[in-house]
Structures are given as structure tokens and as C-alpha cells.
Amino acid sequence: MDREFDDLIAEAAAAPVEGWDFGWLDGRATEQRPSWGYQRRQAQRLATARAALDIQTGGGEVLAAATVFPPAMVATESWPPNIAKATALLHPHGAIVVADPDEPPLPFADAAFDLVTSRHPVTIWWAEIARVLQPGGSYFAQHVGPASVFELVEYFLGPQPEARRGRNPETEAAGARAAGLEITQCRTERLRVEFHDIGAVVYFLRKVIWLVPGFTVDAYRERLRELHQQIGSDGPFVAHSARTLIEARKPL
């Protein structure tokens, strides 16, 4: 390592983590991308929609990449720093950002949208998605899959057998069907993730706060130091993310 442990930790602890842009990790961590290209496919669907909703938009970075928005484009977000960032990014494109606590009900009328999208939602309320979709409308999303980056989670928290069973795509598909939606596609891929220095680990855990709840550098300093030494001797820490592409349609 070129820099000492304390320097790497301090740098990562001071880095801003608002929004959903992981550019700070360039050259320090890598993640294989799913084969389907969610952002491109989302943009294709937005280009033909009349009224669309993007749930849990984060800082709006993914949605803003679309070149054509429907006449009515709305996004929801719960975290105040992300709400401000998404508003600044999406308003120039004509999209409205609504502050929403990510709990039902969604603050929209029945059958308000012909397209609902979401990338990496933390919570998925199928009954609400079905309610705000027009008959014939679609939900198109990329969900975090089962046991995503759990090599890192379990390094800090120990074995998590119950949590590993969460985010099961078959369970999610069953929930969609129970809400009256028809699944048109559902597939999952596991993807290689590499952390090249301990600063990348700290930044990642500060940003993706649900992986190690209550994570702070002080609480995990010794475990971080051990991982820093492991990376120095063995090379990058390798984990595997999971991503599920799911599309569901509301019957006519």
C-alpha cells in the first residue's frame, strides 16, 4: 500500500456520500455490470411512456441519463440530501421530485402512470405499485438480489443465514403476482466486486448504509485494520453482488 491505514481511513470518512454516484471509487473498487444494461432499457421505455414514476430515485443520476422523458415524469426519494440533489439534476429535464418516506401509500392517484421504474429499491410495496399503474402499464426495475456483497457483510457481522434468504427473486415475483401483476421477465446474475484498498471499503459501507447497520470507523477500526493488512498481503478483497431484472405488467 502506498498510503498508511490512518490516511486511507480519514480520506474515506471525509468523502461526501449523498446521491447514488460511486465515482469516488474509480480506481479503488470495481463491480462487474449485469449483462442486460438496465439504464439503457429504462431509457427506451421512458421514451414511449406517457406518464412515468421512478421510485427511490436516489440522487437522480440513473434517471437523468435518459434522453427523452414522457410528458409527465415524477420521481420519489426519502433521504433529504438525495432529494436536493435529485431536484437540482432532474428539474431542468422537466421531472418533478416528490419527497416520500418509502412507506405506503404512494402519494399518487390510482392508475396515474403507465410506467413505474426503480433501480435498487430498498423496499418494494407491490400493492402500491399495482395501484398507481394503469391497466396495461408496466413496472420495470433492477433489484438488488439475494446475499449481495455478503462476503463483506459477513466479514464485519459474522454469518447471516437468515438475511441470506432475503431478496429472493422467486419470492419477489410471487409478491407481484399476489398484487395482481403478471411477471413478464425475472432473472438474476451474480457479479464480481473487488475492493482494492480499505478506503474503498469504508466509503462503500458509509454509502450503502443497510449492509452493516450502524457502521462507523470507530466501531470497526480493528476489523478494518485487519482487512487493510489482508488486502496488502493477498490483494483485492473479492465479493459478489447480485442483481435481479424484473418486469411486471398490470392486466387490462
Sequence ranges of the domains in the chain: 5-249
Residue 108 to residues 21, 35, 74, 163, 245, Cα–Cα distance (Å): 28, 33, 10, 32, 25
- Per-residue confidence (pLDDT) for residue 1, from 0 to 100: 46
Q: Which segments in the chain show pLDDT lower than 70?
A: 1-3
- Per-residue confidence (pLDDT) for residue 21, from 0 to 100: 82
- Per-residue confidence (pLDDT) for residue 2, from 0 to 100: 57
CATH 3.40.50.1010 fits 5-249, yes or no: no
Give the Cβ contact number of residue 137 at 10 Å. Answer: 25
- Per-residue confidence (pLDDT) for residue 18, from 0 to 100: 83
Q: Alpha-carbon distance 216 to 28, whole Å?
A: 20
**Cis peptide leading into residue 107 (ω within 30°):** no
Q: Alpha-carbon distance 147 to 151, whole Å?
A: 9
- Per-residue confidence (pLDDT) for residue 111, from 0 to 100: 98
C-alpha cell of residue 175 = 409478491
- What is the average pLDDT score of the chain? 95
Q: Alpha-carbon distance 239 to 214, whole Å?
A: 21
User: Parallel, antiparallel, or unpaired for β 72-77 and 182-195?
Assistant: unpaired
